[in-house]
Amino acid sequence: MPPTNDDRTPLGLPPQVDVQPGFFIPRMMFFTKGVGRSKERLSAFETTLRDAGIERFNLVHVSSIFPPACKRISREEGLRLIAPGQVVFCVMARNETNEPNRLLAASIGLALPAEPQKMYGYLSEHHSFGETETKAGDYAEDLAATMLASTLGVDFNPDTAWDEREKIFKMSGKIVRTTNTTQSAIGDKNGLWTCVLAAAVFIL
């Protein structure tokens, strides 16, 4: 039988797991986002990375777990802690188009449990067309919170609106905070590639 949350260590791990440096558990995380435009698709992505401040790093995309005891810091502080060429892990949402005037967005949602020092949270990636920045951000938060709620055993109806489920999640006492970082843009009127990204960048 798998261990319950109550059986876990302060790092949210089963008691028999000995945390070693090689586990690569991030200590800190920062949000960033950016937008870029260029004639070439790849160049648009590079410009977007520059706008987000993370073009100097070798980025490795990972999945959706926000580690226990991980500290959220500002983008400025985070960028001071990593060096050019460094391998950096991140959760990234990316979207792009060369269709003039098309609305696009990329968003990362975050949901944190009531005891973030003991239990992990969830990060979600969402990219869409035709959604405003607010709508895309709400959807990403919804995704992260729903994943965390199902893990924590919170009883909810997945068909109800996000605003209603958000109240249920927070009233349960098991989920205390949700947030997002979102970048939207309108496709270049002359057909240049337009790229947007949002990312949660981890620091080991």
pLDDT at 23: 73
* pLDDT of 53 strictly over 70: yes
Is 172 domain-assigned? yes
* Average pLDDT for 177-198: 96
Q: What is the CATH number of the domain that holds 48?
A: 3.50.20.10
Is 6 domain-assigned? no
Domain count of the fold of the chain: 1
* Secondary structure (DSSP) of 136-176: HHHHHHHHHHHHHHHHHT----TTS-HHHHHHHHHHTTSEE
* pLDDT of 11 strictly over 60: no
In three-state secondary structure terms, 4 is coil
Is 4 domain-assigned? no
Is 65 domain-assigned? yes
Is 7 domain-assigned? no
Top-ranked range on mean pLDDT: pick from 15-29, 45-59, 153-167: 45-59
The pLDDT tens digits of the residues spanning 83-141 come to 999 999 999 999 999 999 999 999 999 999 988 888 999 999 999 999 999 999 999 99
pLDDT at 171: 65
The C-alpha angle with vertex 43 and arms to 42 and 47, in degrees rounded to 5, equals 120
How many alpha carbons lie under 13 Å from residue 172 in its C-beta half-sphere? Answer: 24
Domain housing 175: 27-203
- Lookup: tokens for 118: 């003991």
Is 108 domain-assigned? yes
